[in-house]
Amino acid sequence: MKFISWNVNGFRAVLGKGFAEIFEAQDADFFCLQETKMQEGQANWHPEGYHEFYNYAEKKGYSGTAIFAKKDTVGEPISVAYGINGEHDDEGRVITLEYPDFYLICCYVPNAQDGLKRIDYRLDFEEAMRKYMMELDAIKPVIYCGDLNVAHNEIDLKNPKTNRGNAGFSDEERGAMTALLASGFTDSFRHLYPDLEQAYSWWSYRMKARERNVGWRIDYFIISDRLADKMEDSKILSDIYGSDHCPVELDINL
């Protein structure tokens, strides 16, 4: 089964940058989006053969998530939930689909912002998500994907020393990821490629950062520990353009 996750930094914008062709070429069972930046009805795109699920932020042009699920391979979900146990839903950051053998969570984690202005909300969100995932994991395995807005370890960004304490690489955010992984979950990419350097999924638009590969790995597939031996691969699709992020992929035998 093939999962794709991509922060598109504006769905309407990426639709004008070849998204339909990328979507078709990837032929994923699940295609998860973050930062769609749209309201209902603003994107007239309905891929044939897929169920569509959107979560919109109350604030226009902000945040937002979506999942496209292939009808002939995965079918209708048992249930669909938005937010975290009905909370943290005003910014459209979370969609959960339940299937017979697993839960899929698509998430756009809040940015702590410059000067860590939003770190308290960020940490509240992180703890709520960790508890939510543990509750689901007690029922059946979880696949959690999205822009999680943190480079967990120094290997996950180009310039760790100069970014220490900045949003996305603060001790608090890194600690929250450590706590999540210690709660029964696995970083799929690092499980398979523990020492692979210069593997990034986001690059600033400034100073030709992507051309120079001055980036961060902040997009993830986090899975229940007991799914780790079912993984076939976890990839960063850095050759796909259209956003300041590139897609990430999970191939797993479910």
Paired strand residues for 68? 31, 52
CA 78 to chain centre: 22
Q: Is residue 147 among the annotated active site residues? A: yes
**CA–CA gap between residue 160 and residue 152 (Å, rounded):** 10
108 has catalytic annotation: yes
Give the type of residue at 79. Answer: S
* N- to C-terminal Cα separation, the chain: 7
Which of these is catalytic: 50, 103, 108, 144?
Answer: 108
**H-state helical runs in 27-118:** 71-74
111 φ/ψ angles, rounded to the nearest 5 degrees: -80, 135
Q: Single out the catalytic residue among 50, 54, 103, 147.
A: 147
- What are the residue ranges of helices labelled H in the chain? 11-15, 19-26, 71-74, 119-137, 160-163, 171-181, 188-192
Beta bridge pairs of residue 82: 95
Which residues are catalytically annotated? 108, 147
